A and B are shown apart, each in its own frame.
Chain A
């Protein structure tokens, strides 16, 4: 994030795109609700109706995968109506002309045909964004998990740069990170291209410095990213070390991956729980969980915060850092870290961005009344950085990058007539190894489900609660159908948390050419009914956010299981949480 979470409440305009904020980042959503309550305008661009759309001024329900069209058309309006911040552009950016020209053909009228959003709404949103001072963009995986994810991000950056919404409080560009330490793991160098602090492995200066610091020879050739690794598992990749991840449930096109896993020579994992991936492991180390160890996480706003040990791990389980050190030493490394503060010091020593941060400072200091320090923080006196690019763009000039629309890799066709997107829900977390062991979360959402629009459901003879088979070119899974206007006609949506209906059996592993992030958000799919709801096991079905459920056509009194009572209740619920009916 270029801004801090605390600045959101002061925003005047919030453009939320590809982020189901209230479910994926409930606390950020609270800040947004607060801003809206204080009079801010919010626009949500998302193929699905989500909770946030119930308080937004406008919901731009675009066709999945057409973000580039929407964003370029907004840029088109800003350019043709003369709403650009020319002074900011002249002083801080490069290559403006290229973008200015490239967006001209993306007229709102053409965009309407591709995205399904009216030209008026596009114009209104663009004007409002360009002319509001404290206007921020918030996005997450709905933007990046596409084969053109990088393009989407460039489009957003272009909007930010052409309107000068950067380097000021409550504006800027704010990716909300999905997992607790995505930011930190990247920062720490767990990427094939970068050593810690985004220093390239193939930069000779960096390479030489780290060889000296670590006293070993290092490879100057960037490695494979996760998407590439997973595609060649069993072929080029013959051995895997996996710390704390269930790749089988999280990676796309699982059927292929599972074949590859069987062809591996050797797999080491370290995990707190058995999962789908540990079935392939040759050695499993028992790992501690966050409450059992020391260290730091870095959040979406670049804030480094302490993780502290509250309780002892069970049995012989150990903290991951201790296990990695022991394994490295068993391979002859001779490491000697006595605690995680030592490790952090070494990380900070060779990376300017974190050079001023240490466990000791995190223990003793508060900044702006808050714990933690936000990088960049180049020296021990530096207070940390609340929002980036305050004094012009961080490194050199902001680069405009023209982007042309490329359709998603796989679109609906005769055999697979629907577009499938996947995502997360409030009540579960990733592979749900933790959350499904928690009874309240389990009660709220016990079963896998797929959301389908009433029109598409009717065509396929599917009614609410039926068991259906969802299939794509890569595989199929069975789960319950939730008939709901939350999704657009022609689109279906599935959560990815459930082991018995793994959405990633279905998803496409076609990756973004730059980041390697897979296309989780769009692929072609089809649905057939396999069992009537009356024949399925009785039990409760609690879709995460169940407003807008389509329910006519069944009788609650005859309902075989409690879900229908819930659905019935949901029908009586007002769409806007502000006006209770009873």
Chain B
């Protein structure tokens, strides 16, 4: 039985299920195999060749992400041959990739650069100018494509096709001019793009980047604090990471961007929609109400201290209760607010004012 469903990886025996790849089993047992074009949500394409492993009896190295296991396979994920291959491959990738760390990583982490450094791949094999077109006139406010950083792994286009299902971007052009583009080089705003930002999130090098932080020259992602929280839009409850610049706003913190948690750790599986990923500028918007306000005799709203406002609100509500009875008051709480806040509003309505006239506004 045992040879039916086991393989050997680096000399140790592991079980596998039909259809699983070398990478699946390695990942389950925390055995690191470098990857660039792989994403668990996407069909394997075996394009980048960073994940090559050696299988006994196979003449050529095989991509771990795309090679399905067969009973009894004996596999090595690390040895001298693989190392040599990897170094060569990474050095080749680096010939048309910025080597200076700051240029290589203006925003999101650059996995290729990190990998090349990790495997000590020589970065001095010369430099070729990238000929890829960047669609500089695209007026979309969210996605910025930096062709120098692109390695054509096609994670972005496959995500747009396989996960988001809209096919807004695609590999275009030939040979050294191959690039990521849209039909007729249209702006994303004029395509079927739904601005989900998934292409940004899956890109391993940061070639697909968030436009505003890059244009504004915000700090790169590695200098930001990530705060995991729950999206405040629909009822799916996606988990997202606020990337906060702690020093901004005189130490009050500013949200530079939102990123999604790793695949497989949350309900949203690394995906977000346009609202979750991009609609957070309202947080720091100048229209925010910043002080308590009381309507004066003149019918206008006037800034007030917290004490004044609380006194005014309390006596106003209590006066209604005294004059018209407790059930003349209504409490509207919000499905936008937290559990705890809704709990306190219903408790205030019931325990402080004595009425069950309390309902969340969830009608729409």
CB distance from B270 to the nearest CB of A (A): 10
Q: Among the interface residues B231, B235, B309, which one has the most CB atoms of the partner chain A within 10 A?
A: B235
In Å, the complex CA distance between A547 and B194 comes to 13
Q: Which residues of B contact A247 (CB under 8 A)?
A: 332, 361
Least CB separation from B187: chain A residue: A443
CB distance from B24 to the nearest CB of A (A): 14
In Å, the complex CA distance between A517 and B360 comes to 12
Which of B126-134, B144-152, B200-208, B312-320 sits within the interface?
B312-320
Q: Which residues of A contact B142 (CB under 8 A)?
A: 440
B228 touches A224 (CB 8 A): no
Total number of A residues with any Cβ neighbor in B under 8 Å: 158
A217 touches B273 (CB 8 A): no
Which of B5-13, B109-117, B346-354 sits within the interface?
B346-354
Which of B46-54, B85-93, B285-293 sits within the interface?
B285-293
Partner of A444, one of B167, B195, B290: B195
In Å, the complex CA distance between A326 and B336 comes to 20
The contact string, 1 if C-beta is below 8 Å from chain B, for chain A 290-310, is 111101111111011111111
Which of B62-70, B213-221, B248-256 sits within the interface?
B248-256
Q: Enumerate B334-364 residues with CB–CB distance to A below 8 Å.
A: 334-364
B340 touches A344 (CB 8 A): yes
Q: Enumerate B163-184 residues with CB–CB distance to A below 8 Å.
A: 163-167, 170, 183-184
Partner of A311, one of B253, B316, B327, B348: B253
Whether a CB of chain A sits under 8 angstroms from the CB of B16 is: no
In Å, the complex CA distance between A179 and B338 comes to 12
Q: Which residues of A contact B79 (CB under 8 A)?
A: none
Whether a CB of chain B sits under 8 angstroms from the CB of A377 is: no
CB distance from A265 to the nearest CB of B (A): 5
CB distance from B34 to the nearest CB of A (A): 23
B317 touches A266 (CB 8 A): yes
In Å, the complex CA distance between A303 and B273 comes to 19
Q: Which residues of B contact A343 (CB under 8 A)?
A: 340, 343-344
B333 touches A185 (CB 8 A): yes
Partner of A331, one of B141, B196, B229, B352: B352
Whether a CB of chain A sits under 8 angstroms from the CB of B17 is: no
B242 touches A291 (CB 8 A): yes
In Å, the complex CA distance between A192 and B331 comes to 10
Q: Enumerate A167-204 residues with CB–CB distance to B below 8 Å.
A: 176-193, 195-196, 201
B338 touches A308 (CB 8 A): no
Total number of B residues with any Cβ neighbor in A under 8 Å: 125
A437 touches B285 (CB 8 A): yes
Contact (A179, B336) CB under 8 Å given A291-B280, A300-B237, A316-B292 = yes
CB distance from A470 to the nearest CB of B (A): 18
CB distance from B350 to the nearest CB of A (A): 6
Q: Which residues of B contact A324 (CB under 8 A)?
A: 341, 344-345, 348
Q: Which residues of B contact A569 (CB under 8 A)?
A: 186, 190-191
Which of A130-138, A278-286, A473-481 sits within the interface?
A278-286
Contact (A577, B167) CB under 8 Å given A283-B316, A330-B313 = yes
Contact (A180, B233) CB under 8 Å given A286-B290, A441-B275, A577-B166 = yes
The contact string, 1 if C-beta is below 8 Å from chain B, for chain A 518-547, is 101000000000000000000000100001
Partner of A298, one of B317, B318, B339, B358: B339
Whether a CB of chain B sits under 8 angstroms from the CB of A216 is: yes
Whether a CB of chain B sits under 8 angstroms from the CB of A222 is: yes
Q: Enumerate B282-318 residues with CB–CB distance to A below 8 Å.
A: 282-285, 287-295, 301, 306, 309-314, 316-318
B326 touches A312 (CB 8 A): no
In Å, the complex CA distance between A376 and B309 comes to 40
A440 touches B329 (CB 8 A): no
Which of A22-30, A86-94, A96-104, A402-410 sits within the interface?
A22-30
Q: Which residues of B contact A451 (CB under 8 A)?
A: none
Whether a CB of chain B sits under 8 angstroms from the CB of A55 is: yes
A328 touches B352 (CB 8 A): yes
CB distance from B325 to the nearest CB of A (A): 9
Whether a CB of chain A sits under 8 angstroms from the CB of B238 is: yes
Least CB separation from B251: chain A residue: A312
Q: Which residues of B contact A37 (CB under 8 A)?
A: 162
In Å, the complex CA distance between A57 and B353 comes to 54
Whether a CB of chain A sits under 8 angstroms from the CB of B232 is: yes
Whether a CB of chain B sits under 8 angstroms from the CB of A438 is: yes
Least CB separation from A324: chain B residue: B344
Contact (A369, B265) CB under 8 Å given A304-B339, A573-B192, A580-B183 = yes
Whether a CB of chain B sits under 8 angstroms from the CB of A380 is: no
Q: Which residues of A contact B141 (CB under 8 A)?
A: 439-440, 443
A181 touches B339 (CB 8 A): yes
Whether a CB of chain B sits under 8 angstroms from the CB of A226 is: yes
Whether a CB of chain A sits under 8 angstroms from the CB of B27 is: no
In Å, the complex CA distance between A157 and B339 comes to 28
Known: A218-B354, A441-B279. 11 other contacts (CB 8 A): A185-B334, A191-B346, A273-B285, A297-B339, A299-B236, A300-B237, A311-B255, A347-B339, A429-B275, A441-B278, A565-B190
